[in-house]
Amino acid sequence: MLSKKEKKLIKEIWERLTPVAADIGSDALLRMFASYPGTKTYFSHLDISPGSAHLCSHGKKIVLAIAEGAKDISQLTVTLAPLQTLHAYQLRIDPTNFKLLSHCMLVTLACYLGSEFTPVAHAAMDKFLSAFAAVLSEKYR
């Protein structure tokens, strides 16, 4: 459950990171590919080497979607409806992988925000990303 304070904090953080969405997104993806090689199997059609155009644009896409969801967390199911359909019927990414990316996103945030990524911010972000992933997988079955 996210409190009003937590929702505000999450919204603020993602607003600030929107201008560097490509950096944040590609960093998190690279970390995921390095620590969890199985995740690379979903990207055989792209060049996901460090610094590649595909990696940057894909990372940017993901972060912008997360930031959009953060703008009004109470409306996550509405905001994510098209992405729900995409993931359930086309991409069909095993939802376990959402946890792996969420973890790497938290590490990326810690790296970039340093001491600003307080335990309170970490708790809020972990809850938000879990909720995001849960909504994303709602149409799977």
Which parts of this chain interact with another protein (CB under 8 A)?
27, 30-31, 33-35, 103-104, 106-108, 110-115, 117-120, 122-123, 126
In the complex with another protein, which residue's Cβ is closer, 83 or 131?
A: 131
- Least spacing, CB of residue 126 vs another protein, in Å: 6
- Least spacing, CB of residue 34 vs another protein, in Å: 4
In the complex with another protein, which residue's Cβ is closer, 73 or 109?
A: 109
- Least spacing, CB of residue 69 vs another protein, in Å: 20
Rg, the chain, Cα only? 14
Helix ranges (H only) for 18-118 are 21-35, 53-71, 76-79, 81-85, 96-113
Residues in the chain: 141
In the complex with another protein, which residue's Cβ is closer, 127 or 139?
A: 127
Angle, vertex CA 40, rays to CA 47 and CA 104, nearest 5: 105
In the complex with another protein, which residue's Cβ is closer, 35 or 85?
A: 35
Local structure of 80: helix, strand or coil: coil
- Least spacing, CB of residue 109 vs another protein, in Å: 9
